[in-house]
Amino acid sequence: MFQKSGMPGMEIGMKTGKMILTIVVSVVFLLLAELAQELAMGLLSMAGVPAWLYHIAGGLIYAVLAYILVWLFCTKYLKEEPAAFCIPKCRIQLKWAVAAVLLPVLVSAVYLLFPGSYESRPLDTGIKLAFVTRGIFLAGVGAGVVEELLFRGLLMNVVIKKCGKAVGILAPSVLFASLHIIGMDFSLLSCVQVMAAGTMVGVMFSLITLEGRSVWNSAIVHGVWNMIIIGGGLTVGTELNEYSVSSYVLETRAFLLTGGEFGIESSVIAIMGYIVVSLAAVWMIRRRGRQEQNG
């Protein structure tokens, strides 16, 4: 009797331990992948490889290494297939590929209606290529894939298994948001706005992942958002972006509209976009649930 009554407590303790370890491991994996990326790009740069080429290599190394680390952790330590953490074979649903393009394009289009001016600097072809590949492969492919694997793959699902879906969606989203202000010299108001926007976009990515039970859907939305909004083509902000081919410089300095020190990703316009996509994902999840009950 004593052993039987003690088993549930031991099982809960083991689940809690695994959850905490997974949270720590996810952060460590993020740091290791970033370190490998920076090391590889540094070595290629020292070898005289052009920036646009080592940006491509860096983004791919970042994504592939993170995937390998996550796969090993799932199969060797957690003893589960990656699909149990919404990491199946790479397949993207068409609706989320379309949403991936529409969301940043529509948000950008709204800003282009505001008073502002197009500005650019004279740049040679090599620098332009470096800016574009930085946006596509480092911010898009690299950050999009790695952050979704860790936050919406490992973290979200291990927390859901321990604490339920609501906490599993919210807690990693808050952590995801907080990482965007660590080490930044932001004002208190900017920190609050970044936390609100970062948490909301994290919730959006989580719901997209759960809707299709795949991080690859959220990865395409995350990656394309980064490519368009903070990539090296055309960026929107209150000043000329030094890492972009051209910029649309807004005349307004309204904090909520410009996103403050972080930029338009934390603006109320972007947050409205996150909410709309999140509501669409919730509707799809509920519709599928009804279909499964009736089917």
Would you say residue 241 has pLDDT above 60? yes
Find how far residue 279's CA is from the centre of its chain: 18
**Who has greater pLDDT, 60 or 1?**
60
Q: Quick one: average pLDDT of 243-271?
A: 94
Strands (E), the chain: 116-120, 234-237, 246-250
Q: Confirm if 119 and 247 have CB atoms less than 8 A apart.
A: yes
Segment 75-120, tens digit of pLDDT: 998 899 999 999 999 999 999 999 999 999 999 999 999 999 999 9
Would you say residue 39 has pLDDT above 80? yes
Q: Quick one: average pLDDT of 1-22?
A: 59
Would you say residue 55 has pLDDT above 90? yes
Regarding beta strands 234-237 and 116-120, do their DSSP bridges make them parallel or antiparallel, or are they unpaired?
Answer: unpaired
User: pLDDT at position 2, please?
Assistant: 35
Segment 115-143, tens digit of pLDDT: 999 999 888 999 999 999 999 999 999 99
> Taking CA 11 as the corner, what is the angle to CA 7 and CA 17, rounded to the nearest 5 degrees?
145
**Domain positions in the chain:** 2-294
Segment 173-219, tens digit of pLDDT: 999 999 889 888 888 998 999 999 999 999 999 999 999 999 999 99
> Taking CA 234 as the corner, what is the angle to CA 228 and CA 240, rounded to the nearest 5 degrees?
125
Residue at 73: amino acid letter: F
CA distance 3 to 6: 5
CB atoms within 10 A of CB 17: 10
